[in-house]
Structure 1
Amino acid sequence: MKIAVLMGGISREREISLRSGENVVKALRKLGHDVTPIDVRENFLQVLPTLRGFDLVFIALHGKFGEDGTVQALLDWLGVPYTGSGVVASALCFDKLMTYRVVEKFVPVPEYIVVDKPTRESPFGFPCVVKPRKEGSSIGVHICDGPEELEESLKTELKLYGEMILQRYIDGRELTVSVIEMDGELRILPILELRPKRRFYDYIAKYTPNMTEFVLPAPLTEEEYRAVCDSCLKAFRTCECRGFARIDGILKDGTFYFLEINTIPGMTDLSDMPASARAAGMSFEDLIDAIVKTVKR
């Protein structure tokens, strides 16, 4: 199959996308496909028409103009099949505020408000969490232990994002759940518990070797496992995701609190979904092959 791999991009996650894309390209070539890597830059609209010559586009972009439905809309316009969720689901899941408003009727979500100016007050007490509405890789996320830290974090991030989500901090176990469609059914790969050596699973903990311990499979009771799986499948289906995704959340006292859906999970050597696939007995090539097979052409 002739496959184009979109990678790089123009977001703050460009470096991570390049790593993901390089791994995907290698895997697809090992699987016997004719692969062309495309570094997405500001001239992408000039490159776009050439994608009509491919059987499939594998999207390995992260962040804005890649994970937010923009590229998906352009590919729909071209009529070229691509990996992952469609326009609406991609745009929805990239916007944490809109995701919360959609899924909170079905799954537990930590309480939150939206703020557009610096404040020293948290309606949820301290510590509390500050995060951008539309960003990935934990960029711009802060855990604030007091009023001064909250105000300073908001002053910094509001300059970049305009508005932020202020959310109740849940002191629990960080879990990440990879979902993939196989043989026409949604399958949950072994659930991963993240034990970062930093305060939380931030950008540094994600992409620096030996900064996070992966516990696979996560030690869960039968009841906890069912609760996590039930919440993740409900979120995936409610947002009308397609093919595959990764859901992140916090487990506390038997309740799984939903945090976000990643419609284009990282595929770097340190990424979560490949680790969960390995725990399921799948090689990286097996995972990429399974993702390709989720695309209906």
Structure 2
Amino acid sequence: MAKPAVLFGGPSPEHDVSIVTGLQAVHALGDVHAVYWSKTGDFWDVDAALEARDFADGVPRKSGQLRLVAGEGLLGKRRPLDLAAVVNCCHGGPGEDGTIQAAMNLAGLAYTGPSVAGAALGMDKLAFGHVVRGAGLPSLPRVQLSEHQAPPFEGPYIVKPRFGGSSIGIEVVADAATAQALLRSAPHLRAGAVVEPFRPAAEDLNVAVRSWPDLQLSAVEKPLRREGSGDILAYRDKYLGGEGMVSAPREFPELPGEVADDITEMATEVARLTGLRGVARIDFLGAEGDLYVNEINTIPGSLARYLWVEPEVVFSRLLADLLDEAVQRPAFHYSAAGADGSALRSAGTMADKLG
């Protein structure tokens, strides 16, 4: 009988965080295939009873290697896994930028979370910023960082990898020269970087949004920094409490009515613009009485289960709805409509076209 799979890990800087999220989903669902995507890009069928520490040194013992094959799905040594759908718990890199989504499309697998286009847009901070501003939503200026041209606004600056998440590789700098030096030296900026004005007094406000069975917003959180943190909410603030994002410090503030309404309106519009599918977290910045759309995280840590306190959605229900959407509302539908052969019949010979 077909049963779900949970996919986690992946060749990404967020590999370890993804394992924590994936194992939380595995343990909550119970009877599932646990599929580990290693740092080297291989897929493994692993024991669903494993804990995070069992992956600290790589692929756990007694794991069975899998292959992801177009038209066939996930194949073991003898036969394909009989899968109802895949819960995608991969954060960052190819697990969240559209790569694994495209591969699962070709393999014929139903999966949770963003489509190829939604994942690619969410992972590209520059493109997402342009879409948000183009729709008339408030957002801080964001441009591609260039070695040859200073940003068109004054510092201090916050420099971010163009493609990435979890606060990895983010730096606050005082001037354009320092920002440009980072572009040449920082490993997380090799694929490009964006730069924004840094607002030291800005507060983070985050909300989760899910798309099934209907569009629904969670409570709004204000993440808190751990003692000794720097200028921004850092990786250690989010993920080093023992349970991933679940144990990160936060509060649920009582927001003024107009702020709550603005977050609801803007989050709903971001969901529409990005074709939101599954559960995502939309991050805002509050600064000097203004509210700005910051980013969308299309596969958030712990699948944002910690935000569903009002309205309350227990993790097992959240996962069940994700799996139901994966089957009932597929992320892809290929069509050859219009390819009726008329262009081929009138094409003539290739020799004519080359000569």
The TM-score with structure 2 as length reference comes to 0.74
Give the whole-Å Cα distance in 2 for the aligned partners of 1:178 and 1:16: 18
1:157 aligns with 2:186: yes
**Aligned-pair identity (%):** 29
Contact 2:218 2:309 (C-alpha < 8 Å) held by counterparts: no
Give the whole-Å Cα distance in 1 for the aligned partners of 2:27 and 2:151: 47
Contact 1:158 1:164 (C-alpha < 8 Å) held by counterparts: no
Work out which of the residue numbers 204, 208, 211 in structure 1 matches 2:240. Answer: 208
What residue in structure 2 maps to residue 126 of structure 1?
155
1:274 aligns with 2:305: yes
Which digits, 9 at most, give the CA deviation of each residue in 1:213-251, with x for residues without a partner? 3112x3211100111111111111111121221111201
Q: 1:159 to 1:256 in 2, by over 3 A?
A: closer
What residue in structure 2 maps to residue 178 of structure 1?
208
Shift of 1:63: 0.9
Shift of 1:115: 1.8
Structure 2: state its 5+ residue gaps: 44-64, 75-79, 329-355
Which digits, 9 at most, give the CA deviation of each residue in 1:35-84, with x for residues without a partner? 01111132349621343631101101011111011111111112221001
Shift of 1:260: 1.1
Shift of 1:147: 5.2
1:234 aligns with 2:269: yes
Give the whole-Å Cα distance in 1 for the aligned partners of 2:191 and 2:93: 15
2:236 maps to a residue whose letter is I
1:243 aligns with 2:278: yes
Give the whole-Å Cα distance in 2 for the aligned partners of 1:186 and 1:156: 42
What residue in structure 2 maps to residue 25 of structure 1?
26
Give the whole-Å Cα distance in 1 for the aligned partners of 2:275 and 2:118: 6
Q: 1:122 to 1:88 in 2, by over 3 A?
A: closer
Root mean square deviation of aligned Cα: 2.4
Shift of 1:279: 4.8
Work out which of the residue numbers 69, 87, 101 in structure 1 matches 2:116. Answer: 87
Give the whole-Å Cα distance in 1 for the aligned partners of 2:176 and 2:144: 17
1:286 aligns with 2:285: no
Shift of 1:194: 1.3
Shift of 1:152: 4.2
2:197 maps to a residue whose letter is R
Which digits, 9 at most, give the CA deviation of each residue in 1:115-170, with x for residues without a partner? 23277x55332321100110111111111134564344333326742421011123
The TM-score with structure 1 as length reference comes to 0.88
Q: 1:290 to 1:278 in 2, by over 3 A?
A: farther
Give the whole-Å Cα distance in 2 for the aligned partners of 1:97 and 1:58: 27
2:24 maps to a residue whose letter is N
Q: 1:159 to 1:283 in 2, by over 3 A?
A: closer
What residue in structure 2 maps to residue 3 of structure 1?
4
Contact 1:129 1:144 (C-alpha < 8 Å) held by counterparts: yes
Q: 1:252 to 1:131 in 2, by over 3 A?
A: same
Give the whole-Å Cα distance in 1 for the aligned partners of 2:237 and 2:167: 10
Aligned length: 286
Give the whole-Å Cα distance in 2 for the aligned partners of 1:159 and 1:282: 35
* Deviation >6 Å, runs of 4+: none
Contact 1:118 1:155 (C-alpha < 8 Å) held by counterparts: no
